Each structure stands twice: as C-alpha cells, then as structure tokens.
C-alpha cells in the first residue's frame, strides 16, 4: 500500500486540470472572484456527500474537531482561495499550460514550509527530484524573447505567487489532517476537506453578498458549467487530501507536476495552444524529476 498516495495524486492532478479548464472558461463571464468561488460553492455539496459516504462505509461518527486542526484548516482554506484567484488571473494573460507550469514552482516552497512547520525532512534523492522537476518548470515559463518580457512577467509573478499560496495550503491541509484524532486516514482527510469547503464557501459568499451581489447571482445563473467545475474540484481535493494523509506534502506536490502534462494535452485539444520546443524540453525535465521521485 506504500504506492497508494501516488495513485491518489495522479487522480487529483487529472481532476484539477479539468477543474482549472472549466474555471478558465467561467472567468470571462464571472470574473476572477466569481470563478474562484465556483469551485467552493458547487464543490461543497460533493464534499459533504463524500463525508456522508465515508461515515456510512466505516460505521464511525464524525471525529471531534480540536483547536489545532481548526487553525491549520482555516489558514489553508484562506491560502487556497488566494492561490486559486491568482492562478485564474494569470490564465487571462498566458496560455493555459504555461500558466499551470508557473504555479508548479510550488514543490520547492512546499519542501521548505514542510520542513519548517511539520518536520517533513528531505532525502537527497527527493531534493534532487524536486530541483530537476522545478528546473523544467522554469524552462517552460521563462520569457521567449526580450520583447515579450513585459507581457510575460505579470502572469509569471501571479503564477509563482499562486504556487506559494498553494504550498501554504498543502502544508496547512496536511497539518489539519494530522491534528485530527480520527480512526482512519480516509475519515481524517474527508472531514478536513468538508470543513475547509464550508469555511471557503461561507467567506466568499459573504464577501460577494456584501460587495458584489450581482456577481453572486450570476454564479447561480451559470449553475450548469459550475456544477461540473464543483464536482471536479471536490473530487480532486478529496484525492489530494487522501494523498496528504499518507505522504509528505513535498512528495505529493512534486508528483503533482504531471498536471503540467495533463494541461498540455488539454491545451492542445481544447484551447488549440501549441508549445514551443524549449517548453517541451521543460516538460521532459519535469517527467525526469517525477520518474526519479517514484523510484526513491
């Protein structure tokens, strides 16, 4: 069962690419905040459904929450809101696949935060895998020419900042799962996911109700595509949380770089966006880092 975290991570990466693609489309009609809220508002019913199914399947009651778990979960939930908004803002300026790559500087930041806050130590092999894969990300996202720098650096900075917040969210969610006294890892992960979605949905709903009620109404009018984004987002999150319950956030988020490959496949078929040769070489480095990671 030592490989189970990898299965969860691959499933999560695939679901996340589908969700990001749907949110990218919704950004044009709902704006960045509106499209960000979709993943939480329409993901919440599915997150609660997952929790009910786990409770029924295991025969256990909901685990008791504690202050440490709540603190981790709130911090992670806030970080994930900010990360999603920054990622969608970056997607307005740059191709879907390259924007995804910008955010994937995250594993280096996850490794640092994980060591500092959770004591998740790095082996030399894991550090090398992270560096190789991240080098591939940087190669993909570096400006193609001096003339493009003004166009490129804004989404680059937004994407990297998004990666930093996603790193904080990953550490926070793993910390919340570990702090919860649950009888098994599935219940711990699913409970933390449901709580996080409740927090995120409440915060963004209150914000939009107070400052942009028209946008909140527009979200409900777009319920059909939003429902799909909510399901794929909740499914991806469920898989992430299960992976975090079993393995360090650094390993999970490094393997998650295969999301860039999924994004490239989707980008070519859905958005008709092509990749430059240097960006293709960057993908090969990402693959090399992931292969090394899986053989540790």
Which residue, chain included where needed, has tokens 């393997």? 255
At 92, give phi and psi (nearest 5°).
-70, -25
Cα–Cα distance for residue pair 73/291, rounded to 1 Å: 31
* Of 225, 251, 254, 75, the residue nearest 163 (C-alpha): 254
In the chain the beta strands, taken as DSSP E runs, fall at none
Q: Give the pLDDT of residue 287.
A: 77
Which range scores top for mean pLDDT: 48-57, 91-100, 140-149, 281-290?
48-57
Question: pTM, whole model, 2 decimals?
Answer: 0.83
Is the separation of the CB atoms in 201 and 193 below 8 Å? no
Is the separation of the CB atoms in 132 and 292 below 8 Å? yes
Which residue range forms the structural domain that includes residue 143? Answer: 4-294
The pLDDT tens digits of the residues spanning 199-230 come to: 999 999 999 999 989 989 999 888 888 898 88
Which residue, chain included where needed, has tokens 């803002």? 89
Judged against a pLDDT cut of 60, whether residue 64 lies above it is answered with yes
Residues 6+ apart with CB under 8 A from 206: none
Cα–Cα distance for residue pair 55/254, rounded to 1 Å: 31
Which residue, chain included where needed, has tokens 């990749």? 275
Question: Considering its fold, how many domains does the chain have in total?
Answer: 1
Cα–Cα distance for residue pair 52/49, rounded to 1 Å: 5
Judged against a pLDDT cut of 50, whether residue 132 lies above it is answered with yes
């Amino acid at each position: 069962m030592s490989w189970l975290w990898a299965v969860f991570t691959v499933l999560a990466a695939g679901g996340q690419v589908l969700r990001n693609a749907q949110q990218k489309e919704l950004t044009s009609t709902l704006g960045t905040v509106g499209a960000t809220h979709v993943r939480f508002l329409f993901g919440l019913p599915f997150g609660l459904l997952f929790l009910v199914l786990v409770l029924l399947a295991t025969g256990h009651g909901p685990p008791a929450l504690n202050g440490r778990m709540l603190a981790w979960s709130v911090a992670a939930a806030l970080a994930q809101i900010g990360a999603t908004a920054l990622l969608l803002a970056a997607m307005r300026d740059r191709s879907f696949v390259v924007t995804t790559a910008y955010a994937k500087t995250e594993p280096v930041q996850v490794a640092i935060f994980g060591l500092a806050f959770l004591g998740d130590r790095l082996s030399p092999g894991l550090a090398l895998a992270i560096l190789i894969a991240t080098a591939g990300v940087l190669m993909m996202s570096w400006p193609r020419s001096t003339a493009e720098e003004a166009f490129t650096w804004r989404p680059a900075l937004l994407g990297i900042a998004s990666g930093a917040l996603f790193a904080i969210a990953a550490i926070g969610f793993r910390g919340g799962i570990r702090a919860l006294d649950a009888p098994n890892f599935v219940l711990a992960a699913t409970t933390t996911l449901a709580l996080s979605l409740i927090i995120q949905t409440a915060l963004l709903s209150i914000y939009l109700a107070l400052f942009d009620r028209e946008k909140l109404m527009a979200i409900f009018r777009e319920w059909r595509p939003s429902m799909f984004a909510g399901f794929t987002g909740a499914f991806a999150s469920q898989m992430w949380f299960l992976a975090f319950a079993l393995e360090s956030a650094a390993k999970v988020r490094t393997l998650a770089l295969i999301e860039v490959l999924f994004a490239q496949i989707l980008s070519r078929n859905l958005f008709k966006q092509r990749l430059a040769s240097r960006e293709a070489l960057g993908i090969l480095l990402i693959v090399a880092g992931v292969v090394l990671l899986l053989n540790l």
